[in-house]
A = this chain, B = another copy of it.
Amino acid sequence: MRTAQLRAFFLAAAALSLWTATAGQGGPPHVAIAIHGGAGTILKADMTPEKEAAYRSKLAEAVAKGYELLKEGRSSVDAVEASIEVLEDSPLFNAGKGAVFTSAGTNELDAAVMDGATLKAGAVASVRHVKNPISLARLVMEKSPHVLLVGEGAEAFAKRCGMKLVSRSYFYTEHRWQQLQDAKKQAKDAEKQPAQHSPRVHGTVGCVALDGAGHLAAGTSTGGLTNKWPGRVGDTPIIGAGTYADDATCAVSATGQGEYFMRGVVAHDVSALMAYKGLPVAQAARSVIHDKLSKLGGTGGLIAMDARGNVAVSFNTEGMFRATTDGDGKPVVEMYGENGP
């Protein structure tokens, strides 16, 4: 190892320990929660104090919402859904209300949830009229015989469940529309060079939680990539790629260049390293992101939680929006990171 690499490694390890400590390690069974709001080029220099405060406030609200439910004795699946709904309803993140636009000027949303106790899972992809895709994913898990429903079939199921669909205009935000125009300018021919390769921020949102009964859950929700082709599905709704939970190992939610996370089967790989090599969650997460994903050429990150509530976060981008709670249940929000934890 060269000196620079060694330095980076120890910085990363230090950052990780701090983060892990805030989640509360060891001791009696407890509840725990962590969320993310995407990874990417999050630089202090680019942030205004107002913008940073808005992100911090919404992340704190979302993690507090899930934590509160866990403290009331509700399930980890309840907490994951509730926390993600808060983020989906905010225009700040690329999920729900703030979803990015496809090359056709539409919004196509993906989401998944997995229950670590039963290995049951539900997911939706390419839905255009669903305000909270995470809730529809949960309905797929609990009320359908299937795991993944896409497009109009998923929306027909939503209607059968009594879910009110929203019009396309619900997802219109000036900010995201402008991002599409910028992306199109950059790629004259959107169909040959979609702007997937270096999006500044992957704004996918996700949550992992451990409830008082000792069960893990994970969920993820996204609008995908700005200027993606219609019909493109990323890693978010793919069980094992962007979302995975198993009480025997961990719960994982990822964010990043979805195609690389799919090819790497990233979320399941973290679990497999724990199950088959006995790695602790932090080491498994770091190995998958820093060794394997980086080697494939992909960028992004993930949050993971083991069955004792230890939280790991790992990313190979400059920052990642994330939050957990401290020993007193108070939100701890982070967004920057040196060399990534």
Give residues in A with beta carbon < 8 Å to B: 114, 119-121, 125-126, 144-154, 156-157, 160, 191, 193-194, 196-197, 228-234, 238-241, 244, 258-259, 262-265, 268-269, 272-273, 275-277, 296
Residue of B nearest to A146 (CB): B232
The answer for the CA separation of A28 and B134 in the assembled complex, in Å, is 51
The answer for the CA separation of A239 and B272 in the assembled complex, in Å, is 16
Query: A81 → chain B, closest Cβ, in Å?
Result: 18
Q: Is the pair A191, B160 in contact by a Cβ cutoff of 8 Å?
A: yes
Secondary structure call for the A interface: mixed
The answer for the CA separation of A156 and B231 in the assembled complex, in Å, is 9
**Known A157-B231, A244-B265, A263-B119: A126·B151 in contact at CB below 8 Å:** yes
Residues of B within 8 A of A229 (CB): 144, 146, 149, 153, 157
The answer for the CA separation of A119 and B269 in the assembled complex, in Å, is 14
The answer for the CA separation of A114 and B259 in the assembled complex, in Å, is 13
Among B145, B228, B231, the residue within 8 A (CB) of A151 is B231
Residue of B nearest to A153 (CB): B231
Residue of B nearest to A115 (CB): B263
Q: Is the pair B239, A148 in contact by a Cβ cutoff of 8 Å?
A: no
Residue of B nearest to A195 (CB): B145
Residue of B nearest to A296 (CB): B119
Among B148, B241, B277, the residue within 8 A (CB) of A240 is B241
Q: Is the pair B230, A264 in contact by a Cβ cutoff of 8 Å?
A: no
The answer for the CA separation of A197 and B146 in the assembled complex, in Å, is 11
Residues of B within 8 A of A258 (CB): 147
Residues of B within 8 A of A269 (CB): 268, 272
Among B153, B160, B268, B272, the residue within 8 A (CB) of A232 is B153
The 10 closest A-B pairs by CB, nearest first: A153-B231, A240-B265, A276-B276, A272-B272, A153-B230, A265-B268, A148-B233, A240-B240, A149-B231, A146-B232
Residues of B within 8 A of A262 (CB): 121, 147-148, 239-240
The answer for the CA separation of A145 and B276 in the assembled complex, in Å, is 32
Q: Is the pair A239, B268 in contact by a Cβ cutoff of 8 Å?
A: no
